[in-house]
Amino acid sequence: MTAVASSTEKKQAEEEDELMEYLSPEKTEVFAHLEPWAEANILPLLKPADAAWQPSDLLPDAASLGADGFHAACLDIRARAAGVPDSVLVCLVGNMVTEEALPTYQSVPNRFEGVRDLTGADASARYLLLSGRVDMRAVDRTVHRLIAAGMDAFGVDGAAARSAYHGFVYIAFQERATAISHGNTARLVAAGGDAALAPICGAVAADEKRHEAAYTRVVGKLFEVDPDAAVRAFAYMMRRRITMPAALMTDDGGDLFARYAAAAQQAGVYTVRVAEEDQEDGEGP
């Protein structure tokens, strides 16, 4: 064993020992003590079920419109969808596929020590079906593959993947990126004149902003109550960068996520510059 290899292994062992501290009873108790604060500062961000928007609010309803009215509304959607640029449509599909894999993402916070706890996807999927511009069977297969592949535990493994400190830093950045992506998609389709799609993307973006606000508040509170541990967790995640939850999106062996990211860059939905500002300036949390 070379001196370099020995030094590297020693450093990795020391880092893992440090990460194990985040799974200690002292750290998990931090979140137990934060429960009253969360009830007062996080739960108000949740919308009551009766006040939350539903996909049927933004898309034609056959029951209320009747056969002729529904047919006319669908023709109108198809006519407007014809003007949506291909690159933007690819981003919409990618956004929807990402949201459809929500069950995977929900399972990740449940692995955080000390923390136990689809309208956007539904609306986007229904619009895409009515638009007639995408192969919905292929989209459904992609969703299936992504759920089967799971996610890359936000680019880390071992103790960090179970640490609520590291996890909340990741989710705060991820929700910000998702909100930006949906928001820019809404802006682009509105500029193209699609009055049916723009409100859907805007509503999803607004939901993602509320999610971002919730997780950002949690990270901010961790910096307040346990600054040393919070700073070290933040630095750890920044060194490894933030990978999106749909990074394992594939198309029968092809790297579909890379193509989705390229389309987002081309369309201006989510650019390299935005990603750099997000992570280097630390604006997520």
Would you tell me how many other CB atoms lie within 10 Å of the CB of residue 115? 18
**Residue 15, annotated ligand binder?**
no
Ligand-binding site membership of 18 (annotated): no
Angle at 152 between CA 150 and CA 157, to 5 degrees: 125
Q: In this structure, what are the phi and psi dihedrals at residue 85, rounded to the nearest 5 degrees?
A: -60, 145
Q: What is the CA radius of gyration of the chain?
A: 21
What secondary structure does DSSP assign to 133-184, as a single string? -S-HHHHHHHHHHHHHH---GGG--GGGGG-HHHHHHHHHHHHHHHHHHHHH
Contact (CB, 8 A) for 16 and 162: no
Instruction: Give the torsion sign (CA, 41, 45, 48, 49).
Output: negative
Phi and psi at residue 140, to the nearest 5°: -60, -40
Amino acid letter, 129: L
Element (H, E) at 254: strand 254-255
Query: CB 52: neighbour CB atoms within 10 A?
Result: 12
Phi-psi region of 116 (alpha: psi -120 to 50; beta: other; left: phi over 0): beta
d(CA 113, CA 148): 24
Residues annotated within the binding site for Fe cation are 99, 175, 208, 211
Detail the residues annotated as belonging to a binding site.
99, 175, 208, 211
